């Protein structure tokens, strides 16, 4: 018996909770274990005073706790509940109180119980609740679509933005077991791609054409992330507006390029046909003047100077016309004009740079390329040479023009200082200069591919497929 009492006492003092006994009518404690002092900070004798419990519960909890306890006690029912007490230093301490109701042989009711300190758990719960509230608010209000998929790949949850853009409600989705891939991606290839990307869940952003409930097709951009339990979260945006703006910008740029091309052609014709003719006439006149007999030596000298100047003038007009819009391009085709241009360019622009031109596949001059492709390549080479001369400090620029039945390719390579292509290409369009952009644009206009690589020197490769018909 003594042994049992000792064991009981040891158990009571080692528990991380307050063991207590109290009068069932007044709720006055008749016993509390020593941990009470550690957990709440009041000396044990205070606990034994009348109304101690009532006076030290949190004001928001006092009434309902007392009513609940009283009710259970009346019904002789064991009970447990969670509430707050205020510690001696003012801290709020959360307790889980487990109470058993006992009747003495004489009929008196007394209570015994244990109060466990659950403050840490409550705090963690509160933090968790706050975090989920934050997440919930973001989920509900962010203008980004969020979908949550189970391991089977079917949608389990979508947010309001998804409902707004796609037009189905979450409950409609649930009725279909979360499987709407067939509706959203009616095209099997597109659907397969969506399934692969959901399965890969690699958090890369990819764009999709998706069909919304009312039949419209939207451009959307999605990234999928895998969660640790095999489910996944997808985040997406409706980028139709952005895509439209991008297309609009491209259309404008293309119109600009076309208008510029027309203007250049016009100017070039003017220079060549009018100015060029006048200069030829002037030169002929000067030369016949110089052939006159008995001219004073001063006049001979002056005339010979005028003839030289006019010849130079004629050359310059010729190469200016060539640069604006070579008539050779119209008349002789790409290969002849480019080789002429390369020679002329070095002479006119930049004696420091040696320009080497090579070509293959142009043996038959009758086999002309489509005109817009010729113009695109010509302009790319022109801009590439201008860039090489302006920015690269190169000594040699090589131009290689190759053609076969399926494609035409031009490679322009300089041995200059190079530049950071990645940085240049990723800077916002509005901050960029026009040279590289318009090269790219021209090539895309004729369905080609534009590649630029720079490190030690810069290499531009343009490949344009040829339509066999
Ligand atoms: N061959 C090159 N070697 C070194 N840097 C180059 C070369 N080509 C382009 N760059 C770099 O890339 C930038 C962008 O070239 P881009 O042709 O677009 O513009 P730009 O030549 O500066 O101006 P513009 O609009 O008149 O062409 C250049 O300013 C230069 O810093
Ligand atoms: Mg440039």
pLDDT at 13: 66
Which H or E element spans position 426? helix 421-426
Rounded CA-CA distance 133/139 in Å is 10
Average pLDDT score over residue span 399-412: 95
pLDDT 10s digits, 29-39: 999 999 999 99
Q: What secondary structure letter does DSSP report for 159? A: -
Domain 142-238 grouped into CATH 3.30.450.20:
yes
CATH topology of domain 2-122: Beta-Lactamase (3.30.450)
User: What are the sequence ranges of the domains in the chain?
Assistant: 2-122, 142-238, 332-469
Rounded CA-CA distance 446/369 in Å is 12
Residue nearest to atom 6 of ligand 1 (CA): 391
Give the ligand at the shortest distance from the Cα of 433. 1
424 lines ligand 1 (CB under 6 A): yes
394: CA distance to ligand 2 center in Å?
A: 15
Which of 353, 380, 391, 434 most suits a substitution to test ligand 1, by most atoms within 8 Å of the C-beta? Answer: 391
CATH class of 332-469: alpha beta
260: CA distance to ligand 1 center in Å?
A: 20
pLDDT 10s digits, 312-331: 999 888 878 877 877 778 78
Q: Average pLDDT, whole number, for the chain? A: 90
Residue nearest to atom 24 of ligand 1 (CA): 435
- Give the residue among 440, 444, 454 at the shortest CA–CA distance from 388: 454
Confidence of residue 211 (pLDDT cuts 50, 70, 90): very high
417: CA distance to ligand 2 center in Å?
A: 15
Rounded CA-CA distance 418/420 in Å is 7
458 lines ligand 1 (CB under 6 A): yes
pLDDT at 1: 56
Helix (H, G, I), strand (E, B) or coil at 229: coil
Helix (H, G, I), strand (E, B) or coil at 30: strand
Fold agreement between 142-238 and 332-469? no
Is the predicted pLDDT of residue 90 greater than 90, yes or no?
Answer: yes
Average pLDDT score over residue span 176-204: 91
Which atom in ligand 1 lies closest to the alpha carbon of residue 458? 1
Number of other CB atoms surrounding residue 187 within 10 Å: 10
């Amino acid at each position: 018996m003594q042994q049992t009492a000792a064991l009981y006492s040891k158990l009571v003092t080692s528990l991380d909770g307050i063991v207590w006994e109290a009068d069932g009518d007044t709720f006055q404690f008749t016993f509390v274990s020593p941990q009470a002092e550690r957990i709440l900070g009041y000396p044990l004798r205070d606990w034994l005073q009348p109304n101690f419990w009532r006076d030290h519960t949190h004001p928001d909890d006092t009434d309902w706790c007392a009513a609940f306890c009283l009710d259970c006690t009346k019904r002789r029912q064991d009970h447990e509940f969670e509430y707050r007490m205020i510690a001696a230093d003012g801290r709020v301490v959360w307790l889980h109180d487990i109470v058993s109701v006992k009747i003495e042989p004489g009929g008196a009711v007394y209570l015994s119980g244990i109060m466990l300190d659950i403050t840490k758990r409550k705090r963690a719960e509160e933090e968790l609740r706050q975090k989920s509230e934050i997440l919930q608010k973001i989920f509900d209000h962010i203008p980004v679509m969020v979908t949550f998929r189970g391991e089977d790949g079917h949608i389990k949850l979508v947010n309001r933005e998804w409902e707004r853009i796609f037009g189905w409600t979450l409950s409609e989705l649930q009725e279909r077991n979360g499987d709407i891939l067939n509706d959203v991606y009616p095209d099997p290839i597109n659907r397969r791609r969506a399934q692969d990307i959901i399965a890969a869940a690699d958090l890369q952003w990819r764009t999709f054409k998706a069909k919304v409930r009312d039949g419209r097709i939207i451009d959307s951009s999605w990234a999928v992330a895998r969660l640790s339990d095999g489910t996944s979260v997808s985040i997406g945006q409706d980028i139709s507006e952005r895509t439209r703006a991008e297309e609009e910008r491209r259309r404008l740029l293309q119109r600009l390029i076309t208008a510029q091309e027309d203007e250049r052609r016009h100017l070039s014709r003017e220079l060549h046909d009018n100015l060029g003719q006048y200069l030829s006439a002037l030169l002929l006149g000067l030369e016949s003047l110089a052939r006159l007999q008995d001219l004073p030596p001063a006049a001979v000298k002056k005339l010979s100077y005028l003839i030289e100047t006019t010849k130079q003038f004629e050359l310059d007009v010729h190469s200016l016309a060539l640069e604006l819009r070579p008539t050779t391009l119209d008349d002789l085709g790409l290969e002849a004009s480019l080789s002429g241009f390369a020679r002329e360019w070095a002479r006119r622009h930049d004696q420091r740079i040696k320009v080497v031109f090579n070509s293959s596949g142009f043996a038959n001059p009758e086999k002309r390329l489509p005109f817009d492709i010729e113009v695109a390549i010509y302009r790319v080479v022109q801009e590439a040479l201008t860039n090489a001369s302006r920015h690269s400090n190169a000594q040699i620029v090589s131009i290689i023009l190759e053609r076969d039945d399926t494609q035409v390719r031009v490679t322009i390579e300089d041995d200059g200082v190079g530049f950071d292509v990645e940085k240049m290409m990723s800077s916002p369009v509005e901050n960029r200069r026009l040279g590289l952009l318009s090269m790219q644009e021209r090539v895309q206009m004729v369905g080609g591919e534009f590649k630029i690589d720079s490190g030690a020197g810069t290499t531009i490769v343009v490949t344009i497929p040829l339509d066999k018909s």
